[in-house]
Each structure stands twice: as C-alpha cells, then as structure tokens.
Amino acid sequence: MSTNITKIFLVLNSGSSSEKFSLYEGEDEVCSLYFEGVEINGKKKFICTVTKADGSEYQVDKKWDNLNDAFREAKVIFEKEGFINEAHPLDGILVRVVAAGKYFSQHHIVDEKTMEELEKVQVTNPLHVPGTERGIKNARETFKGVPVLVMSDAEALTRDSRKDTEYALPKELVEEFNLGRWGAHGSSYGYIISKIKELGILEKKMVVCHLGSGCSVTGFMDGEPAYTSMGETPLEGLMSSTRTGSIDPTIGALLGEKLGAAEAIKVMNKESGLMALAGSNDMREIIAGAEEGHEDAVLAYNMFIDGVVGKIGEFAAKMGGVDAIVFTATIGERSIPVRTSIMSHLEFMGFKIKAEAPMQKGAGFTNVAEEGSKPIYIIPTNEAAYMIKKASELVDSLA
C-alpha cells in the first residue's frame, strides 16, 4: 500500500526539563515549538520559542509552571498559527522510544500493551522512559482521537543480518530483563542506508559513523546492518558528549552500590564523556582548547578520535575490510578536524581524505576522499524523515 507523503505529523522530543514539538507536512518541517526551563525569581518556569519554516522565530509572551501545560499550549499555538485545523488535522503524533527490549525494537501504535512494556523497561532505562511516558500520556489527553506512535530507535538495526546481538550472561537474567544489543540511532542509520541506495553509492562493506552529541558506528554488509557499537542502551560503545561509552562493568557496579542504580546510570550518561574530561561537551570548544595546548582538551580529543578509529578497525576486521566510510550527524557532517584526524589513522586501509574537505551544501552527499582513495562520504542525516516514512506506512496499514 502506498503512503501519503502529505500527512501531517507532530514529532515529540521529551527531555527531562524540556519539550520540543516539531510539526511536519510530509517530510517538511513547517513549525517547531521549544519549551525549556528557566529560573525566574528563584522559581522554575518554562518559556516557549516558536520557529517557523523560514527560520523566523519569536518567544511566546507567557510563562508556564510545568511541562504538562506545554501540550495544551502547543495545541493552541499550532491552531492559532493555522497549521492544524479541520481542513488540516493531525494524522499522528510520533514519540521516539529508546531501544529497550524486543517489543521496542519495532514501531507501534500506542495501546495499553505499549504502556505495560514501558513500565517493564524502566529498570534498564530510568533516564529515557519517564520522558517518553510523559509525552505519550499528554499527547493522548490533549490530542484525543489522534493516533500516537512510538518510533523505535532500533528498528532499522533489528535485522537477521546482525551478528552482535547477544550478551554472555546467564540465560535466566537475559530473559528476566529482556536484554540484548538492540543498538540506537536507528532512525539515522535507516535514513542514511536508504539514501546510499537511492544515490547509487552502495558498496559491499560500509561503515557509517554517526557522530553528534551521541556517537555510534555501524558496519553494513550489502546494505544490511552487521555490527553496531551501542548495546542494550546508548551507553555502550563510543564515548560521547556526556556518556562514558564502554567501561569496565565493575565501575558501573561500584557506582551503583555507592550512588544507587538510577543515580549511577545518570552520572554515566549525563555527567561523563567529553564533559567530564574537558569541562565542555562542545567539540568546537574542545578542538580550540586542544590547539591552545590545554591538557584536558587534548586528552578528550585524542580519546574521542581513538574510540572512533578503534571501532572502525574492529568492524573492518569482522567484515573482512571496508570499501567506504560515511560520516553523518552534527560532528560528522561539520567538523573537518575530526574527520581528518580519524581518517589519518586509516590510510593503511586505502583511505586518504582531502586536506580541506567541507560538505557541499545542497548536495545529497559529498565524497571528500583524495583521488585514488576509497570513498569517504559526508551524508546529512534526517531522522525525522525516516520516522515519518515509517509512521506513514503504519498509519496506512490501519486504513
């Protein structure tokens, strides 16, 4: 059944102290609202910034006491601006869900089973699940009758082609907690691999590096995922802006004993990584600090580069080589120093990057490899486009 690309979807991004509403018509974002917490006279309040498709923005002249109010206000603002009305009703509300357990390795239209499954995965994902639950609950109450869909962050990685989905733990524990290396950034990888096929640049063995505030690497064979760096949660794998990446599990256990499991998970996810090493989670600031010789910045930068290089090398060994490397997400797309540093370690594999290799704006992809090198692509990701495509298919399946 074909999908209707002019459907109107509201995409939620529920943080612990913020709420973003992005309204899409087809794959085009027409308006977004961002509610964030600020301190006013010693009290926490929430303010809203409205951004339109042309880039213009304004702040709503009103303050709110809690994020639950944001949903009602979002509906009012979208209707006032004329984006939602009887002629243009919402077709669905999309809530991204962390890759937690087998159920959430697929997309679903929310029902009572969804809420039951969310409760089950609170144990392994205490940071992400509360925001997801809040988003679903408020969306169902505010936009009555509109389907709410949970969009899995692992669906594009949940394939029989994956060779790294298991943990070497007692079977009864794996079953009790429904553990597996589900992976994450699936919406990004789903979009990128679809784009690679569409552009006609698919190679047999490819490594895609999603480097943003969260970082991961995935190896593809014949266009299907074979290996990915993230695991049961996004904490496994590469160090990123505030995450430790893979560390000795004993450290996690010791932190859990000292701080309690939920607080330990928070420290490893929100207070570690580049921020812990360099005092900043902005790669531009870290690069500037490293160029000035600040030891903390040098250490953070080198550890980051080594982590990505090591993961590419691991997947190259497992796949029997790499024919092309792809960079995507904020750091991957924009940082020439990061790309250059990574690729300087991989010349022995037949890769050589151009000295100055920016992304070509407006192009679907840019090959930044020197002549005679294997391809090194920059491909801008669009996670929302992938989620909307999958949501359209799901909604159409109900018709």
* Residue partners of 302: CB distance under 8 A and separation at least 6: none
Residue 240 phi/psi, 5° resolution? -140, -160
d(Cα 186, Cα 97) in Å, to the nearest integer? Answer: 11
Tokens linked to 146 = 């509109």
E strand or H helix at 21, and its extent? strand 18-25
Which of the residues 28, 153, 164, 306 is marked catalytic? 153
In what order do the strands lie in the sheet containing 366-367?
A: 224-228, 215-221, 205-211, 324-328, 376-378, 366-367
CA separation (Å) from 34 to 7, 50, 242, 393? 22, 7, 22, 27
Tokens linked to 353 = 């990057």
| Structural contact between residues 149 and 95, judged by C-beta atoms closer than 8 angstroms | yes
| Structural contact between residues 43 and 37, judged by C-beta atoms closer than 8 angstroms | no
Query: Cα angle at 124 between 12 and 239, to 5 degrees?
Result: 80
| Structural contact between residues 328 and 208, judged by C-beta atoms closer than 8 angstroms | yes
Contacts by 61-64 with C-beta closer than 8 Å and gap 24+?
64/35
DSSP code of residue 64:
B
Residue 101 phi/psi, 5° resolution? 80, 165
Catalytic annotation present for 153? yes
| Structural contact between residues 142 and 71, judged by C-beta atoms closer than 8 angstroms | yes
- DSSP for 208-263 reads EEEESSSEEEEEEETTEEEEES--SSTTSSS--SS---S--HHHHHHHHHHH-HHH
d(Cα 338, Cα 333) in Å, to the nearest integer? Answer: 10
Q: Of 117, 94, 101, which is closest to residue 383 (Cα–Cα)? A: 94
d(Cα 67, Cα 17) in Å, to the nearest integer? Answer: 8
Residues designated as active site: 153
